[in-house]
Each structure stands twice: as C-alpha cells, then as structure tokens.
C-alpha cells in the first residue's frame, strides 16, 4: 500500500511540474492592450507623446510598517496615461523590478524602481 501511495504521489508531482512548464513567449509577441477597467464599445486610440515614467518604491520599514511588497500596476498605468494626456497608451511596456532588500529581525530596508514606457506616435 505504501508503494502504491509513493507511485501515485510521484506521478502527481511529475504531472504538476510538466503542467507548470510552458514554452517561453516568442520575441515580438505581446499583449494587444492592457486596461485597468473593461472597455465598453470600440477601443479608439489617439496619438500621444512618448512617456517614460519611473516609480521608485522602498525605503526603511519596521515590523512591516512602510513595507510595500507588491507594485500597484493599475496606479502606474493610470499615472503614465495622465502624463501622456490620453486614456489608452500605445506601445507601452511595464517593467517590474525585484527590489533589493536587507531584512533584519523586525526591520529592514528595501529599494527598487519600476518603469512604464510608452513610445506613442
């Protein structure tokens, strides 16, 4: 019975690993559009100026006070769209950086910066 359990668990483990292995995306293949809210009707884009906005995050924290583990991508896109004075960004890239952290028992320091760039036309 133990042997049967071990075989079933090993097969489940192999299946889980194989399902998680997806082929990497091909270069040049990207997302058609990225929206914070679901668009209603036809999506019309207008020309806008190029945007390159940087969002630094991190700093000192104590017992998770002032700690920001995850970026707010929706806020990044909204701020970049406001800077470009448009509702939809054209040819936009969102680059999220894994922050560098030094963590001691109850306090630490984290530093990172995320960027949103849109080429526009």
Predicted local confidence at residue 80, as pLDDT? 87
pLDDT at 98: 77
Query: Three-state SS across 2-13?
Result: HHHHHHHHHHHH
Helices (H), 26-89: 73-84
pLDDT means per 10 residues, the chain with 121 residues, are: 83 67 59 68 77 85 69 84 81 82 81 84 67
Predicted local distance difference test score (pLDDT) of residue 8: 85
Calculate Rg over the CA atoms of the chain: 21
Q: Can you give the pLDDT at residue 17?
A: 63
pLDDT for position 67: 63
CA atoms within 13 A on the CB side of 55: 22
Given a contact cutoff of 8 angstroms between Cβ atoms, the answer to whether 35 and 45 are in contact is no
pLDDT at 25: 55
Q: Using CB atoms within 10 Å of the CB of residue 118, give its burial: 0 to 12 exposed, 13 to 18 middle, 19+ buried.
A: buried
pLDDT at 113: 86
């Amino acid at each position: 019975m133990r042997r049967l359990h071990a075989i079933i668990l090993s097969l489940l483990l192999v299946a889980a690993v194989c399902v998680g292995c997806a082929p990497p995306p091909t270069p040049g293949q990207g997302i058609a559009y990225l929206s914070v809210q679901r668009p209603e009707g036809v999506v019309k884009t207008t020309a806008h100026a190029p945007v390159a906005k940087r969002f630094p995050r991190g700093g000192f924290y104590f017992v998770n006070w002032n700690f920001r583990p995850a970026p707010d991508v929706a806020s990044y896109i909204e701020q970049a769209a406001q800077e470009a004075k448009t509702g939809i960004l054209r040819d936009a890239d969102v680059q999220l950086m894994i922050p560098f952290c030094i963590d001691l028992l109850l306090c630490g320091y984290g530093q990172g910066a995320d960027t949103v760039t849109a080429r526009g036309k």
